[in-house]
Structure 1
């Protein structure tokens, strides 16, 4: 007689703590925890080996945790429907359980196939919510209150599991065997729940004090920012766990007076607010999946050529635009898998405005480089920074000024663009002005691929020119109604109340965020 089990399908929720599907399934009988490596998913243009290696580390922790609870993780490789079909020949699948996922277009289509298979087989598929994202949302009104309510619920305790001995545990295939190219990322963060908990603890109690002042500059952001984003992306930590730990830290700070407390309080308020923004942007893709592929506002269709200028794209990707701060950020991102939010925004803005590239190819490149790539955050933000949403302020970052503001001594640039070691600090962000420019530019470091001043001016005229006219405003109003933040809904807790002045409320559409919980 075949064994009857509840299959818990792990996707981007690689933990046993605060895992509602695992808990609920365990109340129905024996549980088969399943992870499926889907080669077609890893062949998508937004996937990379660095993602897969981080995943492997997360799964290693998950395997240990599940084994302690009584039933190890089962790993299979192939198309999920085919895997489920094959499993159903050896066991009776009484139910399929998973968390909801706001993924890319490929996962959206995949999930529809799974739903069709479950209906055909008469197997109930239960998807549980795990973030502040709401499916089939009709209005953004009251969204923030629902977020607060969900995050305040007690985390779900991990259950004891009945052992299922009928199946082999399986192994993870090598990255190359599923079509992933080698992707050297020597300073990438390490995955797994243990590392996630360490990162959360160190941010809340050791590293986070200068968060507000340091988050904008890559010189300091790598230590001052939370660095929790990849752990939230892969679900080694639940957003609820992070929110409640942050709230507990805020309560502790309120009750204890010590030197530097006010700075810590400001940092925690600011970070707590950004946890809202995390879900705010994911909600956009959940509500409108075409954001991954199409301009949100159709008036921008055809504005930039879909076939990108290959030479400019290649220079931008390689960190060889001749704009030192831009190149330093790109090279750093390639080596570390992470970049602070302002520099993420600058990278996509330079590609969109100065290099006049359609956002799709640069967006895919950045997706592959970001270890914390989250489609629901990434694509709305790529469009926002490219100026194609129709509702956001056009931000054309001056790449020279950004360098002067965020890296005034050229420390960051010299580290990542060593070709400029001979250039005096006064001209490190504009090496073409240095007396010895002729010995460097065109020899060991390129001349700028564009004149950033005239390129920005031309881009501004083209983009703002689209915004004129009644038809544009009408469509923009519809987009704002559907996707815009509600001013009274989400407090930006990082904004201090100044004496004699009302605290300014900020929306995520006005903040310099690139979506990640930095």
Structure 2
């Protein structure tokens, strides 16, 4: 006769790859029941066009880091490749699952539908499923009237401490037994990759060095493509994948600010933590933004797809040096600063006049810190299709002259321009035939000629989009958006404490 299965809790990790200040883990442990921590590399995400290997390698590194932290407790994460219901069906062959603990995930539509399916699965199998609020983002809101106060209160709550009782976590031997019946995920990753490495340990290394000294130039360099790589915090992938909670970072920043000589820099950083949650909350409340403009008036805007333009943009071969440098840097390292991201999106949607939807998967694949709740609202803002935000059509030449005046960033990522005089690095298309001969450089061979007339295309985009802001349907939906998503006291969100 088969012995009765032990009743356990299961913590299902998603984008919360940490032990400390992990409410799902804390709630599971508070019950006193034995607990298994699992991460499932789900087929629906492994095959989704928004992701690529850089993301899953970051997750693997994060799981390895968790396993190092769990080793003193004689435990580890069960890391498997499976569909989520199949994984739990296999678990139930060994244990009776009492309660599943996880965080609410503001993700792609496929994860939302997966969660609805998992809800039915739990109900049919008499399993409880408890979801915790993630970084102050709330599910089920109809407006933002009390959101800011709720978020602030959440950020000031005590951090959850990882304190399992002796033998409360399933031990390594038990988990290895499970691994034998699952498709165990190989957690090895390429050592030579140029991407930031995953894990809370590395995340705190970045955060601590920022708070100790790198923040001193934060606001001065935030828009500079090269200097921002060191003076910005660089913790965005660790927040996106949950190696660090916003609450941990918020409280650390508030503490540092009390003794810092650079209070404005830290204050500006804190305000961006608020913005991060604000945009995810917006996406949580209006998930249709994944595929369509939030302002329904812009659904009538039609653009002709150009594979030639899109390929040149994706490969950094547009003939506009700062655009190409930014894209090549992003493709190689997974990171460019906020202004360069906005410029890339603006160039694609305005100058090349391509629909923002056609940019979503390439950018999400490249951003190591891809966060759906940030990605789609920001893309629509950059495309000028919200009806409530200021239209910004970035001029890449103006931006390179202002933010990369010595062309340091451009020369690094577009080396074919490195031997030219700095003015020509910014605008190689201004070189005469004689100057090209002098520099042994041929425009159109060594580096592409501009693929569009930027002056004409900027004017076209500006004229069309400014006129659309007066469109009755755009105006009507703008009022709806403001009513649903605007924080009453917007200055509190903007303030640099």
- Is the pair's TM-score, using the shorter chain for normalization, greater than 0.5? yes
Structure 1 residue 247 and structure 2 residue 251: aligned? no
The aligned residue for residue 185 of structure 2 is 173
Describe the superposition over 1:440-472 as per-residue Cα deviations: whole angstroms up to 9, x where unpaired: 211111000001111100111111222223332
CA distance in 2, matches of 1:24, 1:9: 12
Q: Contact 2:10–2:35 (CA<8 Å) still a contact in 1?
A: yes
Of residues 348-357 and 76-85 in structure 1, the stretch that sits farther from structure 2 once superposed is: 76-85
What residue in structure 2 maps to residue 279 of structure 1?
A: 277
8 A contact 1:144–1:489 mirrored in 2? no
Matched, 1:421 2:418: yes
1:218 aligns with: 225
Residue of structure 2 in register with 1:450 after alignment: 452
Compared with structure 1, are the counterparts of its residues 46 and 441 closer, same or farther at alpha carbon in structure 2 (3 Å cutoff)?
Answer: same
Among 108, 115, 122, the residue aligned to 2:119: 115
**Residues 61, 187 of structure 2: 8 Å contact kept:** no
CA displacement at 1:251 relative to structure 2: 1.3
Task: Note the 1:424-503 alignment, pairs <5 A.
Answer: 424-435=421-432, 436-437=435-436, 439-488=441-490, 490-494=492-496
User: Who is 1:208 aligned against?
Assistant: 215
Deviation per CA, 1:112-145: give whole Å up to 9, x if none: 1111101111211000113121111122112111
Distance of 1:308 and 1:175 partners within structure 2: 39
Deviation at 1:68, TM superposition (A): 2.4
Matched, 1:365 2:374: no
1:336 corresponds to which residue? 333
Report the Cα offset of residue 300 of structure 1.
1.6
Q: 1:183 to 1:323 in 2, by over 3 A?
A: farther
Aligned to 1:37, what secondary structure does the other structure show?
Answer: strand
The answer to whether the 8 Å contact 2:80/2:185 transfers is no
The answer to whether the aligner puts 1:18 opposite 2:21 as a matched pair is: yes
Decide whether the 8 Å contact of 1:424 with 1:434 is kept in 2.
no
Change (3 A) 1:183 1:73: closer
Q: Paired residue for 1:514?
A: none
Q: Deviations over 1:237-293 (max 9, x none)?
A: 11111000000001123xxxxxxx2xx111101001110000000011100111011
Is the CA contact 1:322–1:449 (under 8 Å) kept in the aligned structure 2?
yes
In structure 1, distance between residues paired with 2:404 and 2:37: 48
Please give the alpha-carbon distance, in whole angstroms, between the structure 2 residues aligned to 1:214 and 1:344: 15
Name the structure 2 match of 1:196.
203
Summarize the alignment of residues 60-139 of structure 1 with structure 2, pairs less than 5 Å apart.
60-139=64-143
RMSD: 2.0
Q: State the SS of the aligned residue for 1:97.
A: strand
CA contact (8 A) 2:60 2:187 kept: no
What is the CA-CA distance between 1:163 and the residue it aligns to?
A: 4.1
The residue correspondences of 1:344-359 to structure 2 (distance < 5 A) are: 344-359=341-356
Partner secondary structure for residue 368 of structure 2: coil
Pair 1:27 & 2:30 matched: yes
Q: Partners of 2:57 and 2:128 in 1: how far apart? A: 32
**1:159 Cα shift?**
2.1
Q: Assess if the C-alpha contact under 8 Å between 1:48 and 1:183 holds in 2.
A: no
- Corresponding pairs, count: 480
Choose the corresponding residue for 1:327, options 302, 324, 329: 324
Q: Gapped runs of 5+ residues in structure 1?
A: 177-181, 254-260, 496-518
Give the 3-state SS of the residue equivalent to 1:210 in structure 2. Answer: helix
Q: CA deviation at 1:421?
A: 2.6
Structure 2: 5+ residue runs without aligned partners?
Answer: none
**Does the 8 A contact of 1:348 with 1:363 survive in 2?**
no
- Against the structure 1 CA distance between its residues 354 and 447, is the aligned structure 2 distance closer, same or farther, given a 3 Å change threshold? same
Is the partner of 1:47 in helix, strand or coil?
Answer: coil
Instruction: Give the equivalent residue in structure 2 for 1:2.
Output: 5
Deviations 1:151-192 (A, max 9, x none): 10010110215243544253753599xxxxx99994211111
Decide whether the 8 Å contact of 2:19 with 2:25 is kept in 1. Answer: yes
Distance 1:410 1:20, change over 3 A: same
Secondary structure, aligned partner of 1:155:
coil
Which of 258, 261, 264 is matched with 1:266 structurally?
264
1:293-332 aligned at under 5 Å gives the runs: 293-305=291-303, 308-332=305-329
**What's 2:60 paired with?**
56
Mapped partners of 1:57, 1:167: distance in 2: 19
Whether the aligned pair in 1 keeps the contact of 2:17 and 2:242 (CA below 8 Å) is yes
Residue of structure 2 in register with 1:234 after alignment = 241
Against the structure 1 CA distance between its residues 474 and 184, is the aligned structure 2 distance closer, same or farther, given a 3 Å change threshold? farther
